[in-house]
Structure 1
Amino acid sequence: MTQNTSTEEHSTGTHTGKVAVVTGASTGIGEATARRLRAAGWTVYAVARRAERLEALARETGAVPAPCDITVDAEVEALREQVLAEQGRVDALLNISGGARGTDRVADASTEDWAWMYEVNVLGTMRITRAFLPALRGNGEGTVLNLTSLAAHRAYEGGAGYNAAKFAERAMTEALRLEEAEHNVRVVEIAPGLVHTEEFSLNRLGGDQEAAEAVYAGVERPLTAADVAEVCAFAVELPHHVDLDTVTIKPVAQAAPHKVIRAG
């Protein structure tokens, strides 16, 4: 594919024939990214544990529901075999799945929460990336996109467990970029700041709806899942020689992790 053809393809928003695997697709940024790519013509394998949510997404968008726990090797291997058997290729792997648990300081850290965050954000991302790398290399123009967080770039009080997991995911992403450049695999890191989604803060705060809403209280227009999905899609739809490398995204009201403007 020539540069001109790639540029034209991006500008028309038509990516029929391209295959993407999107993890975390049952909610939030992952779901929004799957929707955005389907709207542009991609064949999208929507990956998450909750099959019923994936089925609903499939009915609405035509995405392929692919229930899978990315922390289980056998399930990841079965997913890879399914995609390659049905499509014979994969063009982009978007690792959106992840999450946070708790806001404990190190002195009060929950070993269970820390282990869960590392397992999902780091080892889960490693497992599915490892599984699909041979196909992405074989594609000739494969892309891996890892969704990290502003927490991967700046530590904050009460965030150490999530910081540690996301810093590790960021380090893995940077190493992967060095390792895969010779195979022409493009590696992208997207690091959002404050994003108001249905479940992130709710899950982090143990299901406390009031506490979850307080995270966004008074913030004029925090980012939405669709905002971040647009950037993720833009990154993988650019001509392949263009690598956005590392992109941080914050709402204007979030000048820095420690400075958020709130009305009143």
Structure 2
Amino acid sequence: MPITRAARVLVILAACAVAGFGAAAPAAADPPGHVRAAITTLADSSTKTVTVTCPLGTVVTGGGAHLTAPSAAVQGYIAIERLEPRDDGKGFTATMIEAQLTGIAWRMTVATLCATPPAGWDVVAVTGPIGGSVVTVDCGTKNVIGMGGRINNGGGDVVLDKVAPSTSLKSVTARGSVIPGRHPGEWSVTAFAVCANVTGQLIQWPAPAGPAATKSANVTCEAGQALYSAGGEVAPGSGSVYLDMAQASDVNTAVARGNKAFGAAPPPWGVMVYGICG
């Protein structure tokens, strides 16, 4: 089972007029300057894109998004399309789409994880070929501390269902899957890696394959550490299961969730959550 740790003291810093904005920091920040900030949107039935910014003096190390509770009525309709650390370091952008139209109001929460700029900090990105579902970006001589992925020109017909670091923490892989029966145009996938000259610790946990409509997994950094970033994937990537949560739920815990698309009958599937701690 995932390793749990003592709860940290959280300090709410601000409120956002859009819906709710807050930032929480551990009592003894590790990594240095570590902070989580989040925004929850208003409820409506439309595609949503939100950027959460980092406090001055910090840079983005990772982030995430999730379909916000109460969400049961729209699970199986909503999917992640974008999880992107900004290359200027100022924050994290996420997009969620109605992969199937619902007419039901829903909300999403986007979070960014930030820290005092670590040595060698950089964001690198690679965009794959048109129609290519999997793309990998590497950090060269540096190490991965953060991850992201984005569907380009998917038109609501392609979902982002994998953002995962390599076990060596040298690269990040992102995957897009076409929803069965859809015919998107010239779409592509971009993978993002936040790189630095620091050594993080990869933690991961699976929810095993099976036929359930909803699966989730979570993992927590060990004592004395906090999250640089979070990621997740559903497997296999068929376009019939939507990743609707790949999120740092707090400064220590990463959570991923998948939901079977409404009306779909995918093969047995599972979900994996990833966290990078420092």
Structure with the bigger percentage of helix: 1
Structure with the bigger percentage of strand: 2
Q: Normalized against structure 1, the TM-score is what?
A: 0.30
